[in-house]
Structure 1
Amino acid sequence: MSEQRERPEPEPIRFYGTTWVDHSGGYLLRRFALGLGAVLLAAAGALVLRLAYQGMAIAETGTVVSTLLVVAFAVCSSMAFSRTLGDYVRDPDDARGPDDASMRSVKVIGFLGVLLAYALRSAVEAPGEKQRRAAYDRAVERHERRSAHRAARRGNPAARRGGRRPGRRG
């Protein structure tokens, strides 16, 4: 009695579930809405940063501190943007994981870059879809190979031989 395994299930993506597999269930609308939402959140974040900068100017902290603040946010945003965008297209088997602990603080400070990278990736596909699709396709391929191999091995092996094995007497 051979147990037939079920086809592997796709891994869900946040906000998309498993609709990324066949692009059903309002996938395109959701992608557009989430990308637009990320751009709007980035605009709101930029406004908050501008208000913070104006608060620093009112407090008269000096040009050095104000310049350092702007440079820190600009550098962290650009690093977070490139790192986040790279994480969406990088192979998940790569040595560097998507939740690299050393980059968490940079991504928090550079939240504008993270939001813009999410919006940009949403214009192409669901963020993380490429990685999940590659893993899902590999799992389906392994499943189909195993199923084909199991189908070839079914039945009584002695009945397939067509008699006695050569070299044996009896």
Structure 2
Amino acid sequence: MSTTSTTSATTTADGAPVPPPIRWFGTTWVQRGTGYWLRRAAVSTGALAATAAGALLLRLGVSGVRMSEAGPLTMLLSLAVGLCSALAGLRNWKILTEGKDALTGWMAEEKQLAGVWLVGCTGALAAYFARSLVEAPGEGLKRAAYDQETAVWHRRRASRAEREARRGGRRRS
């Protein structure tokens, strides 16, 4: 199981932390300029289009089973698709808001429940769309980590400057 770190591993020449990029947004999420808002609109539109395409594909699949006149199977398949979509959407929402490391229990199962996540792709895409209306998906986690790293860097820089000022004052005497 691969884990993704939300902290940045790189720093600038003076030791300041560099914000980690977010897919499709780069580091525009830090300043939230015009490019950020245009990308947010494009990502939301793309996620909505992908959700609609996934729903259409699932609808065509269920319609194919309905045409085969397998009555009870059609209802069972519709319920299974709905349940898988709900579970995948819930899981994706948790990943986007709390991070992949916060997944526990059945949500953390990647390989065993791969079929559920695949069938529930529409729910996962819908959760991505909904999250993209609030912020760049994953931005909250990255912003919290970046703000914490920046605060630590500022404290260290201030204490270093204070120590150097005290040493400079002693040397002048």
Q: Same fold (TM over 0.5)?
A: yes
Counterpart-to-counterpart distance in 2, 1:89 and 1:16: 17
Counterpart-to-counterpart distance in 1, 2:71 and 2:149: 56
Counterpart-to-counterpart distance in 2, 1:36 and 1:95: 27
Calculate percent identity across the aligned residue pairs. Answer: 40
User: Of the two, which has the highest radius of gyration?
Assistant: 1
Give the drift of 1:158. 10
Structure 1 counterpart of 2:94, from 65, 86, 91: 86
Structure 1 residue 46 corresponds to structure 2 residue 55: yes
Counterpart-to-counterpart distance in 2, 1:38 and 1:148: 44
Counterpart-to-counterpart distance in 1, 2:44 and 2:67: 35
Distance 1:157 1:57, change over 3 A: same
Distance 1:148 1:43, change over 3 A: same
Higher helix share: 2
Structure 1 residue 127 corresponds to structure 2 residue 137: yes
Alignment match, 2:46: 37
Give the drift of 1:66. 1.6
Code of the residue aligned with 1:55 in structure 2: it is G
RMSD (Å), alpha carbons: 2.7
Q: Helix, strand or coil: the match of 1:42?
A: helix
Code of the residue aligned with 1:108 in structure 2: it is L
For the Cα contact (< 8 Å) 1:89–1:131, is it kept in 2? yes
**1:28-56 Cα distance to aligned partner (Å, 9 max, x none):** 11111111111111111111111111211
Alignment match, 2:4: none
Alignment match, 1:167: none
Counterpart-to-counterpart distance in 2, 1:133 and 1:40: 27
Structure 2 counterpart of 1:55, from 61, 64, 67: 64
Code of the residue aligned with 1:13 in structure 2: it is I
Q: Which runs of 4+ in 1 moved over 6 A?
A: none
Alignment match, 2:31: 22
Which range is displaced more, 115-124 or 152-161? 152-161
Give the drift of 1:118. 0.9
Provide the TM-score with structure 1 as the length reference. 0.79
Q: Alignment length, in residue pairs?
A: 157
Code of the residue aligned with 2:130 in structure 1: it is L
Structure 1 residue 77 corresponds to structure 2 residue 88: no
**1:119-167 Cα distance to aligned partner (Å, 9 max, x none):** 1111111000000000000000111111112222227859739x9xxxx
Structure 1 residue 68 corresponds to structure 2 residue 94: no
Counterpart-to-counterpart distance in 2, 1:156 and 1:26: 45
Counterpart-to-counterpart distance in 2, 1:158 and 1:112: 64
**1:80-129 Cα distance to aligned partner (Å, 9 max, x none):** 11221222222676464xx9344544322211111111111111110000
